Amino acid sequence: MTSTVAAFHKRSIEDKEGFWAEQAQHIEWFAPPEKILDFSNPPFARWYVGGKTNLCHNAVDRHLATRGDQKALVYISTETKQERIYSYKELHQEVQAMAAILKSLGVKRGDRVLVYMPMIAEAIFAMLACARIGAIHSVVFGGFAAPSLAARIDDATPVVMISADAGMRNGKEVPYKHLVDEACRLAQKPPAKVLLINRGLAAMSRVDGRDVDYTELRKQHLGASVPCEQMLATDPSYILYTSGTTGKPKGVQRDTGGYAVALAASMKHIFDCKPGEVFFCTSDIGWVVGHSYIVYGPLINGSTTIVYEGMPTVPDPAVWWSIVERFQASTMFSSPTAARVLKKQDPKYMTQHNTSCLRRLFLAGEPLDEPTAKWISDALGGARIIDNYWQTETGWPIMSAQHGVEDTPTKFGSPSFAVYGYDLRLYHESTFEEVGADEKGMLCAVPPLPPGCLQTVWGDDERFLKTYFTAIPGKKIYSTFDYATRDQDGYYFILGRTDDVINVAGHRLGTREIEEAIQVHTNVAEVAVVGVADALKGQVPLAFCVLKNLDPIKSAEGRMAEEKAIMATVDKELGAIARPSRVHFVTMLPKTRSGKLLRRSMQALAEGRDSGDLTTLEDPTALEQIKSALKS
Ligand code: AMP
């Protein structure tokens, strides 16, 4: 680490309160914090205690005086061929209308609102409207199936759900409404009201007394004036579910003031994006990157955010660069998988547009392999490629180059250095001692976690403690569940997860979740799912199934049909994003003598590697079956 970044980081750790008091000046407060940090009940950290603020005020109202006519949100859908531009003034109007609608539906401060939406501007109005009135939003990615949605409904118990008739993917409608109906039927505690945006893409039935129409209500409420609630900095702003080791997703709970400060500071120090500049993040609002860097980060910063619905390759693979050129984006945020998709296209598409306005392309969510990083760096000419590492839990980068602090060189394959605020440590996985330079360790952070990170698991403090703070015996230290090394210069390299989480095209999935979904298929006796390296998506899930009745797979056609049926079960239970790339059939799974599945061995074999230490394997023929299944 060079001197300026190192000094900045050191101060953030050694003088936490002083450092974060300064950062707090990047946002507006209704009342200043009385105390910067309350860490009296570790590892729970309460930032900016007593301070009053509002995310929507900082993202919208605050800019009205100086940037009212500036573009706040540019909505582009290459699916519906729509484009809409909202100035800060117009965004303010739309968000107030949405806020008035939510209030008319009975939403009060502290209530939850579930947002299950495609990438449309109304989804962002909905999130900001919730923040405005102090409701806690929980955005569920549109690709999740009804049972997953129902599980999130029951955990968050929203009073209102906001959805739409359909999303669009690659020219095809993806209807949502029947999933909303099904999820409400499956849920124990369904929302009282469902607010529906009719995009005119798919037919929608209406449930009397529950379903209400956005267009009608917007007409009534446009022009409404709804003030921002004065939220305590420590009040929760949202819940975002993420996968872990167990089947049940965890509701990551974010605060208000700490999150606003963390994002404002990151726009300055990490993204180095100036107010008034254009920020183009290609993620989806269903993921944490979308929350932080489509919605809140750029808007809090007074930048213009581009909201894009569509593929990176339609109408042609130059579409993103044409957007960059047209709107003069200075900063872009995307995923390594998207870069790999573009790498497969004709290189001419990379140079058709003048992208000299683009200073930096940030990539995160999964490992950025060196060939892809080099390729996109060359293909884009001037723009710097910044690998940054973080998690749903943290809400903003844990590791990144921080060009707003100092212009440091990057190393391919590394997300650079620890970001200010994160006191990172690497522990040996069996001795639990800190490891030296270039040695592999479990990546942990000494609490208090900096502002913006999860406060707790929604409704379950015990789960928060048990999940995140028990990896290193005797120390209440936050575990990222990733392995990493750090070189002599302070650059980190991420080596993959320590748990059963896999990363498919930047989407985090628990192998247990997929196994549970497969078990819904009535003929499945036992199943193991592992993540296997994939050239495009980083990893894909692969399933090994033991069936109860072997008759269906006695012929090649039967095997194919059973494989398809199992894949369809996953689509229905979890969503197509979790569908295994293949389902192999075996009559037993490799286990240790104590009955634990040998996932690492299965994964190694599937990736063509050695199966590793097998001294505890109960029955060697199980592994032979895996080998021959893979050969087939
Ligand atoms: P999510 O919570 O969905 O953002 O997933 C977080 C996980 O994605 C991390 O724990 C890592 O395993 C992985 N990840 C995120 N960013 C990177 C990166 N830049 N390099 C390597 N892995 C990453």
Alpha-helical regions (H) of 344-439? 348-351, 370-379
212 by Cβ neighbours in 10 Å (0-12 / 13-18 / 19+) ranks as middle
Residue with tokens 């950062």: 23
- Which residues, other chains included, contact 607 with Cβ-Cβ below 8 Å and sequence gap of 6+? 532, 533
Q: Measured from the CB, is residue 366 less than 6 Å from ligand 1? A: yes
For the ranges 303-307, 379-383, 508-512, which has the lowest average pLDDT? 379-383
Name the residue with higher pLDDT: 507 or 38. Answer: 38
Q: Measured from the CB, is residue 482 less than 6 Å from ligand 1? A: yes
Task: Please give the distance, rounded to the nearest whole angstrom, from the Cα atom of residue 390 to the centre of ligand 1.
Answer: 6
Confidence bin at 617 (pLDDT 50/70/90):
confident
> pLDDT for 37-74, tens place per residue?
999 999 999 999 999 999 999 999 999 999 999 999 99
Distance CA(95)–CA(160), nearest Å, equals 16
Distance CA(91)–CA(230), nearest Å, equals 20
Q: Look at residue 593 in the predicted model and tell me its pLDDT.
A: 84
Atom in ligand 1 nearest the alpha carbon of residue 415? 19
Atom in ligand 1 nearest the alpha carbon of residue 388? 19
> pLDDT for 223-241, tens place per residue?
999 999 999 999 999 999 9
Task: Please give the distance, rounded to the nearest whole angstrom, from the Cα atom of residue 328 to the centre of ligand 1.
Answer: 29
- Is residue 592 predicted with pLDDT exceeding 90? no
Q: Look at residue 128 in the predicted model and tell me its pLDDT.
A: 98
CA dihedral sign, ordered 114, 192, 99, 72: positive
Confidence bin at 618 (pLDDT 50/70/90):
confident
Distance CA(455)–CA(156), nearest Å, equals 16
Atom in ligand 1 nearest the alpha carbon of residue 393? 2
Give the tokens for residue 81.
């061929």
Inter-CA distances, 390 with 143, 360, 393, 498, Å: 22, 18, 8, 15
* Residue-by-residue DSSP string for 605-629: HHTTS-----TTBS-HHHHHHHHHH
Using the 8-state DSSP alphabet, how is residue 26 labeled? G
3-state secondary structure of 361: strand
Distance of CA 39 to the CA centre of its chain: 27
- Is residue 600 predicted with pLDDT exceeding 80? yes
- Of the chain, the percentage scoring pLDDT greater than 90 comes to 92
* Residue-by-residue DSSP string for 130-156: HHHHT-EEEE--TT--HHHHHHHHHHH
3-state secondary structure of 339: helix
E strand or H helix at 253: strand 250-254
Distance CA(253)–CA(239), nearest Å, equals 5
3-state secondary structure of 512: helix
Distance CA(358)–CA(368), nearest Å, equals 20
Q: Measured from the CB, is residue 403 less than 6 Å from ligand 1? A: no
Distance CA(445)–CA(420), nearest Å, equals 12
Task: Please give the distance, rounded to the nearest whole angstrom, from the Cα atom of residue 30 to the centre of ligand 1.
Answer: 35
Atom 6 of ligand 1 has which residue's CA nearest to it? 391
Q: Look at residue 243 in the predicted model and tell me its pLDDT.
A: 86
> pLDDT for 141-187, tens place per residue?
998 999 999 999 999 999 999 999 999 999 999 999 999 999 999 99
Residue 505 · residue 490 · CB < 8 Å: no
> pLDDT for 411-433, tens place per residue?
999 999 999 999 999 999 999 99
Atom in ligand 1 nearest the alpha carbon of residue 289? 4
Inter-CA distances, 66 with 44, 88, 157, 264, 329, Å: 38, 10, 39, 17, 20
For ligand 1, mutation pick of 361, 485, 494, 495 (most atoms within 8 Å of CB): 494
Look up the pTM and report it. 0.95
Residues composing the chain: 632
Q: Measured from the CB, is residue 288 less than 6 Å from ligand 1? A: yes
Radius of gyration of the chain (CA): 24
Instruction: Name which of 186, 204, 112 is nearest 145 in CA terms.
Output: 186
Confidence bin at 1 (pLDDT 50/70/90):
low
Q: Look at residue 131 in the predicted model and tell me its pLDDT.
A: 99
> pLDDT for 283-301, tens place per residue?
999 999 999 999 999 999 9
- Is residue 249 predicted with pLDDT exceeding 90? no
Distance CA(489)–CA(6), nearest Å, equals 11
Distance CA(407)–CA(401), nearest Å, equals 8
- Which residues, other chains included, contact 406 with Cβ-Cβ below 8 Å and sequence gap of 6+? 2, 4, 5, 8
Q: Look at residue 2 in the predicted model and tell me its pLDDT.
A: 64
* Residue-by-residue DSSP string for 34-46: SEEEEEEETTEEE
Alpha-helical regions (H) of 387-460? none
Q: Measured from the CB, is residue 365 less than 6 Å from ligand 1? A: yes
Q: Measured from the CB, is residue 286 less than 6 Å from ligand 1? A: no
Distance of CA 141 to the CA centre of its chain: 9
- Which residues, other chains included, contact 272 with Cβ-Cβ below 8 Å and sequence gap of 6+? 331, 359, 360, 403, 404
User: What average pLDDT score do residues 511-522 get?
Assistant: 94
3-state DSSP helix/strand/coil percent for the chain, to nearest 5? 35, 25, 40
Q: Measured from the CB, is residue 395 less than 6 Å from ligand 1? A: no
Atom 9 of ligand 1 has which residue's CA nearest to it? 391
User: What average pLDDT score do residues 299-305 get?
Assistant: 98
For the ranges 243-252, 343-352, 491-500, which has the lowest average pLDDT? 243-252
Q: Look at residue 610 in the predicted model and tell me its pLDDT.
A: 86
Q: Look at residue 353 in the predicted model and tell me its pLDDT.
A: 95
Name the residue with higher pLDDT: 610 or 289. Answer: 289
Q: Look at residue 316 in the predicted model and tell me its pLDDT.
A: 96
- Is residue 374 predicted with pLDDT exceeding 70? yes
Q: Measured from the CB, is residue 333 less than 6 Å from ligand 1? A: no
Task: Please give the distance, rounded to the nearest whole angstrom, from the Cα atom of residue 78 to the centre of ligand 1.
Answer: 28
Q: Measured from the CB, is residue 416 less than 6 Å from ligand 1? A: no
Phi (first) and psi of residue 293, to 5 degrees: -125, 5
Distance CA(479)–CA(471), nearest Å, equals 6
